[in-house]
């Protein structure tokens, strides 16, 4: 069994990005600039945004963080989005989700200029991904593909079962696995909460991508020998032994599943660090597009 080390892979990619940024600066271009909008004080969102700011620093990017209280109106938030759309110093930006309930998330996503939508959530980028056109790819799916590529895991003709059909993970990763060429060319099945005989379907998979949000959902009896297992799940479960009071748990029952696998991602340290890396790669791409 090979453990897929997302943390190390992400560190390698960030070094590659930083080297490219220094080349850009030496050629007189300005540093890529990623901005983030954070509304409220949700613990998970604070952590994610802090890691994004740290990753910007490691990659040599400019970063800015716009904070708003959770009583911000939708109109005020849309105005902040519009300001970033029109700010020539900003290459790309994200609006950290979830947003407070009184704000229509989809309206905010659609207000972001697709050319600055480095999260890849705007319908234009989602559509481009779906038909294989260049555009910003949703960060977690792009990170999973990069892990498969860097570990030379064969996908062509393989049966990939994705568990979960969310717009940010399940559906886009299934599309990418389906694309022709390179990492792709897989036969893809998507399972969800209404799927019948789910364990039987998952047992047929050469590659399992679990994006369910239920700790330990994938058990050893669902995994065939020699499969590759990508665990996207990151559920906070209470843990009194940790300073934070919780630990992150994946969707896969790691201890029983790992011995059966050819490759498996741990949680934490698997897909998570790659998500932030993909965001950095998208921002680099945005900066190149604005410089050309």
CA 120 to chain centre: 10
Minimum CB distance to ligand NAP smaller for 135 or for 272? 272
Q: Does 208 bind ligand NAP (CB under 6 A)?
A: no
Q: Which position among 14, 96, 117, 285 bears the catalytic label?
A: 96
**Residue 45 found at the interface with ligand NAP (CB under 6 A):** no
Cβ atoms 34, 52 nearer than 8 A? yes
Our finding on whether 193 is near ligand NAP (CB under 6 A) is yes
Please state the separation of Cα 16 from the chain's center in Å.
19
Contacts of 69 by beta carbon, 8 Å cutoff, 6+ apart: 39, 40
Q: Of the listed 91, 117, 119, 251, which one is catalytic?
A: 119
What single DSSP character describes residue 64? E
Contact between 233 and ligand NAP by CB under 6 A: the answer reads yes
Q: Closest approach of Cβ 247 to ligand NAP, in Å?
A: 13
Query: Could you tell me how many residues make up the chain?
Result: 292
Q: Measuring CA to CA, which residue among 61, 59, 80 is closest to residue 69? A: 80
In angstroms, the CA 53 to CA 35 distance is 9
- Min separation Cβ 131 and ligand NAP, Å: 22
Q: Residue 247, SS3?
A: strand
Contact letters for ligand NAP, residues 126-165 (x by CB under 6 A): --------------x----------------------xxx
Pairing of strands 2-3, 261-264: parallel
Q: Which residue is nearest to ligand NAP (CB)?
A: 166
Residue 168 sits in the site that holds ligand NAP (CB under 6 A): yes
Q: State yes or no: is 119 an active-site residue.
A: yes
The reply to whether 272 sits near ligand NAP by the rule CB under 6 A is yes
Strand duo 246-249 + 235-238: pairing: antiparallel
Task: Please tell me what DSSP assigns to residue 114.
Answer: G
Name the token pair of 20: 């490219």
- CB closer to ligand NAP out of 194 and 240: 194
Asked if residue 187 binds ligand NAP (CB under 6 A), the reply is: no
Q: Pick the binder of ligand NAP from 41, 57, 192, 242 (CB under 6 A).
A: 192
Pick from 139, 136, 135, 157: nearest CA to 147 = 139
From 23-31, 150-158, 168-176, 256-264, span contacting ligand NAP (CB under 6 A): 168-176
- Work out whether 288 is an interface residue with ligand NAP (CB under 6 A): no
Residue 158 contacts residue 184 (beta carbons within 8 Å): no
Q: Which residue among 275, 282, 283, 285 contacts ligand NAP (CB under 6 A)?
A: 275
Q: Which residues bind ligand NAP (CB under 6 A)?
A: 140, 163-166, 168-170, 191-195, 198, 211-214, 232-235, 271-272, 275
Query: Catalytic site residues?
Result: 52, 96, 119
């Amino acid at each position: 069994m090979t453990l897929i080390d997302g943390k190390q892979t992400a560190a390698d990619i960030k070094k590659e990005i930083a080297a490219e940024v220094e080349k850009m600066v030496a050629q007189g271009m300005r540093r890529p600039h990623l901005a983030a909008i954070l509304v409220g004080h949700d613990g998970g969102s604070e952590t994610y945004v802090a890691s994004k700011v740290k990753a910007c620093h490691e990659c040599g990017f400019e970063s800015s963080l716009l904070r708003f209280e959770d009583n911000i109106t939708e109109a005020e938030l849309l105005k902040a989005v519009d300001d970033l759309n029109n700010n020539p110093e900003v290459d790309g930006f994200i609006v950290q989700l979830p947003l407070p309930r009184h704000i229509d998330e989809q309206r905010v996503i659609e207000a972001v200029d697709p050319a600055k939508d480095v999260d890849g959530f705007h319908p234009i980028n989602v559509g481009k991904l779906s038909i294989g056109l260049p555009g910003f790819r949703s960060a977690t799916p792009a990170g999973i593909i990069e892990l498969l590529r860097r570990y030379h895991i064969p996908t062509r003709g393989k049966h990939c079962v994705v568990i979960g059909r969310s717009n940010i993970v399940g559906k886009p990763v299934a599309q990418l696995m389906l694309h022709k060429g390179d990492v792709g060319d897989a036969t893809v099945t998507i399972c969800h909460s209404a799927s019948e005989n789910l364990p039987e379907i998952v047992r047929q998979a050469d590659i399992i991508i679990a994006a369910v949000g239920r700790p330990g959902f994938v058990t050893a009896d669902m995994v065939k020998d020699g499969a590759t297992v990508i665990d996207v799940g990151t559920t906070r479960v209470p843990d009194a032994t940790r300073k934070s009071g919780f630990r992150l748990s994946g969707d896969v029952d790691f201890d029983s599943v790992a011995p059966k696998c050819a490759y498996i991602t741990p949680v934490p340290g698997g897909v998570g660090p790659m998500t932030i890396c993909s965001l950095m790669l998208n921002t680099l791409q945005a900066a190149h597009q604005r410089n050309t």
